[in-house]
């Protein structure tokens, strides 16, 4: 196994978990967004938490959830390490993590997050509400000092300011309201924070964009990060890692997507299709042609509308292209991916934790 290995996994969602969109194009104000948050922010100092139902907020429940998931997956994690040739203390350079309900998805989360050991993490998130701001073709940074975490605030790494200063103005926006409206990154934080109290993050949201724009932006972002890494003598996986947020397919009538029907056979076919997408496009050595085809399997190239409603249709190819380019620039190696664990909202039983 090379140090430049990327390890990926997928969570299929078969039942609705996402609230209704704001009216497209209105662009909700910061005050309107804060009113939606389960845990409001502390001004521009500490971002709060959008979703607090099904997601831990405080230390005791977070410890219960994460520790229980790790305990239940202990043997599987050990087998995973052996299969991948992982040594004690060695971390993945990155991967794909779900952002669904902690009571059902936690056992999937930990197969990635328990093997992210770098002290700083670049978080690449889905931007579900991008159309509410009519935003596309630019990534989104926040300007908070820190984000809420169950064990205390999680500081923003100084890498963010260096990136904002080095990227072209037309490549990004900085907007706290947009970040507050999105739940795709906050859900991962308890799993990254436990056992790493000093870990820092750089949150980035990825809205709609076609492949050409995605390739252009990932060139720019990966180049800027590589420069920072080289200036500091950092290594990928040791000093910084890339975690991409995705919940894979949203299947069923509530999502207007049930091409196989809704019976048991349909479920099996939907899961098989998801796993084939992972195998065809994400497993093995990361390849831009395969990632391009992945994007255009999920969306219409001209309109960027869904063909298959994968939550992560933009964040996955974007994040993996950043990871691939960063690995080549700093390690001289093309990373590869492996499916660590998969699950669905029907296959995963509720985590046996203490009642709130």
Taken in order of first residue, the domains within the chain and their CATH numbers are 26-344 (3.40.830.10)
Please, what is the average pLDDT of the chain?
91
What's residue 346's pLDDT?
86
Confidence of residue 18 (pLDDT cuts 50, 70, 90): very low
Query: Each residue of 50-80: pLDDT tens digit?
Result: 999 999 999 999 999 999 999 999 999 999 9
153 φ, ψ (degrees, to nearest 5):
-65, 150
What's residue 89's pLDDT?
83
Q: Which two tokens stand for residue 172?
A: 């990004």
Query: Each residue of 138-161: pLDDT tens digit?
Result: 999 999 999 999 999 999 999 999
Confidence of residue 19 (pLDDT cuts 50, 70, 90): very low
Coil, helix or strand at residue 124: strand
Query: Each residue of 247-293: pLDDT tens digit?
Result: 888 888 988 999 999 999 999 999 999 999 999 999 999 999 999 99
Query: Each residue of 175-233: pLDDT tens digit?
Result: 999 999 999 999 999 999 999 999 999 999 999 999 999 999 999 999 999 999 999 99
What's residue 6's pLDDT?
40
Query: Cα separation of 292 and 356, whole Å?
Result: 44
Q: Which residues of 178-210 are buried (b: 16+ CB within 10 A; e: fewer)?
A: bbbbbbbbbbbbbbbbbebeebbbbbbbbbbbb
What's residue 27's pLDDT?
87
């Amino acid at each position: 196994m090379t140090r430049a290995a990327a390890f990926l996994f997928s969570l299929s969602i078969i039942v609705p978990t996402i609230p209704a969109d704001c009216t497209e194009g209105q662009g909700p104000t910061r005050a309107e967004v804060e009113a939606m948050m389960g845990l409001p922010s502390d001004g521009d100092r500490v971002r709060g938490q959008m979703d607090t139902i099904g997601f831990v907020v405080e230390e005791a429940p977070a410890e219960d959830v994460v520790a229980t998931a790790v305990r239940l997956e202990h043997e599987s994690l050990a087998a995973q390490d052996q299969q991948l040739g992982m040594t004690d203390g060695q971390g993945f350079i990155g991967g794909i993590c779900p952002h669904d309900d902690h009571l059902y998805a936690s056992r999937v989360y930990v197969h990635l997050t328990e093997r992210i050991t770098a002290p700083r993490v670049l978080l690449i998130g889905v931007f579900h509400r991008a159309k509410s701001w009519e935003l596309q073709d630019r990534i989104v940074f926040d300007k908070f000092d820190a984000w809420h975490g169950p064990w205390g605030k999680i500081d923003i790494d100084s890498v963010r300011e260096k990136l904002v200063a080095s990227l072209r103005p037309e490549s990004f926006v900085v907007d706290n309201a947009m970040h507050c409206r999105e739940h795709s990154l906050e859900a991962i934080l308890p799993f990254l924070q436990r056992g790493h109290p000093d870990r820092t993050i750089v949150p980035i949201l990825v809205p709609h964009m076609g492949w050409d724009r995605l390739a252009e932006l990932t060139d720019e972002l990966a180049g800027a990060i590589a420069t920072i890494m080289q200036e500091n003598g950092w290594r990928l996986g040791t000093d910084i890692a890339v975690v991409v947020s995705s919940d894979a397919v949203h299947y069923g009538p509530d999502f207007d997507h049930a091409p196989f029907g809704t019976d048991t056979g349909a479920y099996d076919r939907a899961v098989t299709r998801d796993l084939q997408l992972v195998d065809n496009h994400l497993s093995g050595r990361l390849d831009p042609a395969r990632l391009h085809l992945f994007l255009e399997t999920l969306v219409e190239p001209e309109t960027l509308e869904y063909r298959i409603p994968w939550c992560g249709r933009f964040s996955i190819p974007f994040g993996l292209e950043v990871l691939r380019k960063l690995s080549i620039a700093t390690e001289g190696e093309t990373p590869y991916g492996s499916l660590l664990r998969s699950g669905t909202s029907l296959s995963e039983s509720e985590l046996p934790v203490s009642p709130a």
